[in-house]
């Protein structure tokens, strides 16, 4: 990713399947600082993204069902049988007006990764722009509401807690690239080394995709890469200095290759704060390559001050690819099928497997399933 060009990759540290590559700057980005605001009593947030539109941070086995005794909304713990006069046990909810909100003239609060994920959830959210005969009335009037995607909290990633606790933080470190079983999991960049030291442990509170969770369980350890110096070239301090420089250059080149999945994406500016711009980005949704959501803060010269990414699973990439292609062809099934290299029946079955079958008229899906069985 070109935005990482001014960051220097340091020697990786390994703990089990977790590999962390520190990113350092010669000079920090001035004029912007980041810090964490903890909300220990808040467990679920309902974030408004527009008029009559919001999303709820996902918590397994719960749903918004009732209002608590104190008048605040709550999420019920699964299905409960209670006295009609009693209030069920629930988890308090916090309503936020939007993912990025200005708190005063020089302060902006935003929810890490929520900007990027909200952009993915809103992808072609409105559904078909024209009431083609194949789509249900619900698809045309309600679109993809509700839309849900799953993720794992960092605490569920095997070995990540220990790795963040024992890994060394370099004096000039302003970020890191995280690999799990040598799969690129996430990148995190902040403007100043002091910010990184304060936010290092927040990586455990981020969320990660299913692929990363599974890799941490399946691969208990990865090989550690050690620097190799050529003794024949070292005859004095100058020779040692050259060998160390060569070794660092090789490591930086290798890291650049490993981080190749962080390609330039479609960036959408969200908020401007002085000379800095907060943006979110969506990937190409190419099923043959890695796909990462991202959010960034850049200055007026394009220098990266903040970066956080989320790697999509293969299934999430396929859903994004389907929705993007459908939108490109105005949700016309035949034209979309041709663009995807299949026929109408194949496209209908893909949509059904991807969880979008409810948008199609039942007889369309039944006919395609019957044709598939006859084959």
Instruction: Name residues whose C-beta falls within 8 Å of residue 77's C-beta, 6 or more positions apart in sequence.
Output: 61, 62, 88, 89, 90, 91
Average pLDDT, the chain: 76
Say what the pLDDT of residue 119 is. 81
pLDDT in tens, 299-339: 888 888 889 899 998 899 999 999 999 999 999 999 999 99
Q: Say yes or no to pLDDT of 95 above 70.
A: no
Q: What is the pLDDT of residue 61?
A: 24
pLDDT at 302: 84
* Range with the poorest average pLDDT among 79-83, 196-200, 214-218, 307-311: 79-83
Instruction: Please state, for a pLDDT cut of 70, what percent of the chain lies above it.
Output: 71
Domain boundary assignment for the chain: 1-41+100-331, 332-374
Whether 226 shows a pLDDT value over 80: the answer reads: no
Q: Rounded to an integer, what distance in angstroms lies between the CA atom of residue 236 and that of residue 155? A: 48
Residue found under tokens 């029946």: 345
Q: In this predicted structure, what is the pLDDT of residue 148?
A: 81
Lowest mean pLDDT among 147-156, 186-195, 227-236: 227-236
- 185/262 Cα distance (integer angstroms): 10
- This prediction has a pTM of 0.74
pLDDT digits (tens, 9 = 90+) for 170-209: 999 999 999 999 889 999 998 889 889 988 988 888 889 8
């Amino acid at each position: 990713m070109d935005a990482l060009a001014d960051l220097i990759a340091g020697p990786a540290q390994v703990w089990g399947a977790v590999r962390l590559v520190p990113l350092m700057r010669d000079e920090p980005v001035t004029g912007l600082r980041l810090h964490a605001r903890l909300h220990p009593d808040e467990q679920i947030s309902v974030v408004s993204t527009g008029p009559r539109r919001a999303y709820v941070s996902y918590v397994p086995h719960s749903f918004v069902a009732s209002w608590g005794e104190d008048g605040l909304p709550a999420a019920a713990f699964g299905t409960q049988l209670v006295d009609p006069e009693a209030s069920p046990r629930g988890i308090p909810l916090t309503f936020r007006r939007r993912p990025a909100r200005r708190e005063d003239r020089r302060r902006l609060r935003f929810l890490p990764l929520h900007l990027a994920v909200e952009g993915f959830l809103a992808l072609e959210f409105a559904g078909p722009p024209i009431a083609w005969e194949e789509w249900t009335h619900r698809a045309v009037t309600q679109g993809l509401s509700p839309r849900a995607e799953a993720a794992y909290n960092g605490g569920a990633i095997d070995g990540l807690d220990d790795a963040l606790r024992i890994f060394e933080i370099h004096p000039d470190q302003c970020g890191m690239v995280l690999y799990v079983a040598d799969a690129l999991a996430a990148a995190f960049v902040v403007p100043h080394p002091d910010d990184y030291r304060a936010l290092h442990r927040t990586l455990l509170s981020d969320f990660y995709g299913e692929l990363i969770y599974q890799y941490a369980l399946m691969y208990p350890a990865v090989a550690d890469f050690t620097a190799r110096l050529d003794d024949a070239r070292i005859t004095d301090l100058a020779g040692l200095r050259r060998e160390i420089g060569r070794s660092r250059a090789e490591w930086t080149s290798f890291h650049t290759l490993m981080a190749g999945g962080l390609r330039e994406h479609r960036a959408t500016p969200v908020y401007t704060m002085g000379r800095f711009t907060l943006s979110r980005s969506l990937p190409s949704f190419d099923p043959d390559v890695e796909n990462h959501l991202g959010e960034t803060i850049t200055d007026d010269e394009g220098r990266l001050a903040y970066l956080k990414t989320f790697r999509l699973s293969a299934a999430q990439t396929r859903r994004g690819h389907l929705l993007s292609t459908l939108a490109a062809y105005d949700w016309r099934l035949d034209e979309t099928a041709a663009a995807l290299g299949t026929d109408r029946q194949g496209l209908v079955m893909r949509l059904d497997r991807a969880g979008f079958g409810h948008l199609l008229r039942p007889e369309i899906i039944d006919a395609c399933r019957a044709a598939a069985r006859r084959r």
